Amino acid sequence: MDKISVLLPTKRDNEKLLERFRYFEKNMELIPNSTNFKDLLINRLEGIKHYLEPTLKSLEKQKYKNLELIISHRNPSKDEIDTISSYNINCKLVKEKPSIWHDLGVKYPTLCNNINTAFIHSTGELLWRLDDLTFFDNRVTQELINNWNNKLYTTSRAIRCIEYDDIKKGINTINRLGPNKVEYINNGWSYQYKPLSDNLYIPMSMCWGFSSTISKDEFIELNGQDELWDGAICGTDMELGRRLDVISKYKRVVGKEIIYELDDVPYKSNIRDDVMFRKFCTYKGHKANCWKPDKRTMRLYKRWHEHEKGELDLNWNKMLDVPYIDVKKEYEKKLIGEIIYDSCIN
C-alpha cells in the first residue's frame, strides 16, 4: 500500500485561536441543523487545547491508515509536542528551514518555504497538501488513495472560512463574492463555498492549497513550491498548477468528500498583488526556485502598484534575494529543517 504524506505548514498563535474557537463553541446551537458540518464541528472542537487538534482528530479517525503527518512550524514549542504526542498518528514536527523573510517580521508569511520543509522530511509516494485549520470525515484518505491507484490526483471540495460573529446574528443571506465563490450567512454563522464542476475531470491547474494531492516524483520534477512567492499575504505558489500541467502524466478529479476549514484573521500585508504580478512576469518554465523577474518586470509592476494600490511595502522586492534551492538534493540529504519530534522515535 502506498503511503500518503500529509504536508501541513503552520505558524499560528495558539492562545488567540483557542479564544476564538471557544467563542464559536458558545454559539454552536445557532448553527442550522440543515448545515452538514454541525455535528462534525462539535466533535472536532470538543475538549481541545491546541488549534491543531481538529485536524489531528480528523487524521486519527481515517479509515485508510497508511499515512504520515509532517508538520512544519516556524517556531515549534513544547505545546505542539505535547499535543501531537497525545494522538495515535505517525507524525514528525519539523522546524521550518531558514528564510530571508523570517528576520523581517511575522507579517511576512513563508508558506512555500514551509511546505518545502515538510516535503524534505516526508517518505510517502503521494503528497497531500493540507491547511492547518481543517477538519473532515473519516473517509477522506481512502478517497485520495483510491483515486491515486487509478492514476488520478484529487482536489477537494471545501467549505471554508467557517466562523461566528454576533454582528451577523439574525442575518440570513447568500452573497456572491466572485464568479466561483459564494458566502452563506445564517444567524451569525458564515462560511464560503467554492463550487467545483461535477464533471469527472478538472483542469490540472486546480491544485488548490487547502487540500490537493500530487506525487512525490512530480513535486520533485517541479522543484517544489516556488519560494519566490513567499512574503505576500498568503505566500501561495500561484503558478504550481500551471507548472504541473506542463509535466504531469495524471489527470485531476474533484473529491466527493468535503474538507471544512475554520477561519482565522491573517495579517494583511500589502507587499504586492500576486495575481497582477503574475501578469507582468514572463517565466514559462516548469521548475520553481530557479528564476527571477527581470528589471523591466519589476519596474513595470512598481509603476502599476504605486498608481493602483498606493505606496509599496519597504521589502516588496526582497523576493529577488530568495536563494536557489534544489529540492531533490535536500530531500535526499534531509539536513535542513530540524526534526523536533518524531513519533516513530519518541
Report, as an integer, the average pLDDT of 320-330.
95
Inform me whether the pLDDT recorded for 282 exceeds 90: no
What the block records as the C-alpha cell of 91 is: 507524525
What pairing do the DSSP bridges indicate for beta strands 339-342 and 152-164?
unpaired
304 pLDDT band, cuts 50/70/90, is very high
- Domains of the chain are 4-269+324-342 (3.90.550.10)
Q: Which amino acid is at 344?
A: C
The pLDDT mean for the chain works out to 91
Q: What confidence score (pLDDT) does residue 199 get?
A: 65
Residue 17: all three cell numbers together: 485561536
**Res 148: pLDDT:** 96
Q: pLDDT higher for 102 or 271?
A: 102
Q: List pLDDT tens digits, range 17-47.
A: 999 999 999 999 888 877 789 999 999 999 9
The model's pLDDT over 148-171, given as tens digits with 9 standing for 90+, comes to 999 999 999 889 999 999 998 888
pTM of the model: 0.95
The confidence score (pLDDT) of residue 194 equals 76
Q: Which residues contact 119 (CB under 8 A, 6 or more apart)?
A: 5, 7, 70, 127, 219, 224, 327, 331
Supply φ then ψ for residue 204, to 5 degrees. Answer: -60, -25
As a whole number, mean pLDDT of residues 256-280 equals: 83
28 phi/psi in degrees, rounded to 5:
-60, -35
Q: Residue 234: its pLDDT value, please? A: 67
Burial class (CB in 10 A: 0-12, 13-18, 19+), 73: buried
